[in-house]
Amino acid sequence: MINKSPKKILIIEDNAMSRKMFLDGLEAEGFDTIDAENGTTGIQKAQEHLPDLVICDIMMPDMDGFEVLRTLRQDPVTAIIPFIFLTGSAGNESLRKGMELGADDYITKPCTVQQLLKAIAVRLEKQTKLMEHWYTVCCQNFSAPVVTDTTSSVDSESIFPSIPQLKEVFDYIEANYDQGITLCDVAEAVGYSSAYLTNRVGKITGETVNNWIVKRRMSAARSLLQDTNQTIEQIALALGYQNACHFSRQFRQHHGIPPQTWRKEHQLIRNSKVEDYKTSLNL
């Protein structure tokens, strides 16, 4: 199930006129919009509303766009939100810095609303395909046997691609994903700077390190929700989250529905399959 509700876009732009132009244009196309006049407010609203995509100016007075992106990428709750920079300069140094931090795209100002809409469509389409892929992987596990262990029964090979250059990275994530690790922890463990590791993993896989951490946690979460009777609070703690609210927000962002709803739907499907199997055996 992929969320079909209107996409929520956060615009972080200190110029009031430009911000209004973008907001009006997006709202006219049916998007839900949130705006912030500076980086600090933008981070707060991203964490509060969990938008489907963030558009952020680079040059702002209190906190530049690079710091906004760095903060969002280091927070597991906001790490996988697509991020597009607005910039008055497309110099190589600026582009390289943004990409190393995990930016998804750049739009050079001045730009039209149509240019902005095109960039948004590309990023959202990629995000939707990613979610559909992982939802399909999840659905393929319906017939898995019921387990009572508190750990995940999901094979890590179904989560991480077989890439020798990144084996050390994925092995560390696999061994520690339930410990609340971040990009910085992974980078320190494998001996790289956070910026270099982000760039390396991004070039090879098209994803950020934090994305892979979240994917592994979500895979374990699905298994625990479907195959155990643990509460949402117990599952959150087992996966390294500080609290159930944090876990639930990230699960909803990744799957489009809360973990409680996901559990009910998938347990119903599993029970139906069990009944069908019993019927086929004339039990």
Q: CATH assignment of 8-126, given 2.40.50.1070, 3.40.190.10, 3.30.830.10, 3.40.50.2300?
A: 3.40.50.2300
CA distances to 26, 53, 119, 185, 258 from 126, rounded to whole Å, are 19, 12, 11, 27, 22
Residue 227 makes CB contacts below 8 A (sequence gap 6+) with 144, 146, 147, 153
pLDDT at 231: 94
Residue-wise pLDDT tens digits, 136-184: 544 444 443 333 343 444 444 468 888 888 989 999 999 999 998 999 8
pLDDT at 90: 60
| pTM: predicted TM-score of the whole model, two decimal places | 0.53
Q: 141-278 is classed in which CATH architecture?
A: Orthogonal Bundle (1.10)
Residue-wise pLDDT tens digits, 197-225: 888 888 888 888 998 999 999 999 999 99
* Confidence band, pLDDT 50/70/90 cuts, at residue 20: very high
pLDDT at 157: 43
The more confidently predicted of residues 6 and 220 is: 220
Residue-wise pLDDT tens digits, 31-40: 999 999 999 9
Predicted confidence (pLDDT) at residue 2 exceeds the cutoff of 50: no
Among the residues of the chain, which ranges form H helices?
16-28, 39-49, 65-74, 92-101, 113-139, 167-176, 183-190, 194-205, 209-227, 232-238, 244-255, 259-280
Residue-wise pLDDT tens digits, 158-167: 688 888 889 8
Spans of all domains in the chain = 8-126, 141-278
State the average pLDDT for the chain.
81
Residue-wise pLDDT tens digits, 234-249: 999 999 998 899 899 8
Token digits of residue 104: 């998804």
